[in-house]
Amino acid sequence: QKEVEQNSGPLSVPEGAIASLNCTYSDRGSQSFFWYRQYSGKSPELIMFIYSNGDKEDGRFTAQLNKASQYVSLLIRDSQPSDSATYLCAVNIYFGNEKLTFGTGTRLTIIP
Amino acid sequence: GAVVSQHPSWVICKSGTSVKIECRSLDFQATTMFWYRQFPKQSLMLMATSNEGSKATYEQGVEKDKFLINHASLTLSTLTVTSAHPEDSSFYICSATNEGDSYEQYFGPGTRLTVT
């Protein structure tokens, strides 16, 4: 079983709609969770991180964490064409260790 | 703040030669730097973790004699791909963590290596 799993997509969402990206992880002791956006040919850029159960909002982005279900999601409201990218979920599995384990990424396309 | 640079941004080399890639934290001291490799349409795979002044910790399956990592200062780490072969062609990305903010990794822009 992969440590961090994401649906590879592609996920197509109309402009202005909500895009929902999901990620599951296998290690119940995982501590912190990150969402990165990666445009083609570029390196990842951090969108959000979340440590505690519940929702965390930042502008059009909301991260949701459910540790009991070992599930983290990213919602993008009012999707824009510029949101078209691959979204990587990353998990910090070992407490006190900065190492991140990445999922394979979900390719998101916003349709104008 | 928290800017990481990489040099070169792309490099083409002949099979059998060595290539050095630099990773610098420009406005902070990086306690730890990470080196990743990413093949087309795949995710980031961690190659090694390096801390200033100590030997790098390599992930399983990564040849430490082929991928030499030196972390000489709190702002500079280098990755040398020795005796490069076409299968080493990939996108190499470094990241760094800030001494005061250890959970967030700041990524460099990446280096595209092509071995002919």
Q: In a 10 Å sphere around its CB, with 0-12 CB exposed, 13-18 middle and 19+ buried, how is residue A110 labelled? A: buried
Nearest Cβ partner for B102 among A88, A98, A102: A98
Question: If pLDDT is split at 50, 70 and 90, which confidence band does A55 have?
Answer: very high
Which residues of chain A are within 8 Å of residue B43 when distances are taken between CB atoms?
88, 102-105
Direct distance between the N- and C-terminal alpha carbons of chain A, in angstroms, rounded to an integer: 37
- Residue B55: what pLDDT? 86
Q: What percent of chain B has pLDDT over 90?
A: 72
- Residue B46: what pLDDT? 93
Q: Could you read off the pLDDT of B22-64 as tens digits, one per residue?
A: 999 998 888 889 999 999 888 899 999 998 888 899 999 999 9
- Residue A98: what pLDDT? 74
**Residues of B55-71 as b/e, b for ≥16 C-beta within 10 angstroms?**
ebebeeebeeeebbbeb
- Residue B42: what pLDDT? 87
Asked if the C-beta of A13 comes within 8 angstroms of chain B's C-beta atoms, the answer is: no
Question: If pLDDT is split at 50, 70 and 90, which confidence band does A2 have?
Answer: low
Which residues of chain B are within 8 Å of residue A103 when distances are taken between CB atoms?
43
Q: How many CB pairs under 8 A join A and B?
A: 46
- Put simply, the answer to whether A43 touches B110 (Cβ < 8 Å) is yes
- Residue A91: what pLDDT? 92
Nearest C-alpha neighbor of B45 from the set B91, B83, B4:
B91
- Put simply, the answer to whether A98 touches B103 (Cβ < 8 Å) is yes
Question: If pLDDT is split at 50, 70 and 90, which confidence band does B99 have?
Answer: low
Q: Give the CA-trace dihedral at A102, B26, B76, B68, to 10 degrees.
A: 40
Which residues of chain A are within 8 Å of residue B34 when distances are taken between CB atoms?
98-100
Interface of A with B in 35-54 (CB under 8 A): 36, 41-46, 49
- Put simply, the answer to whether A104 touches B42 (Cβ < 8 Å) is yes
Q: Could you read off the pLDDT of A3-54 as tens digits, one per residue?
A: 899 987 899 999 999 999 999 999 888 888 999 999 999 999 999 999 899 9
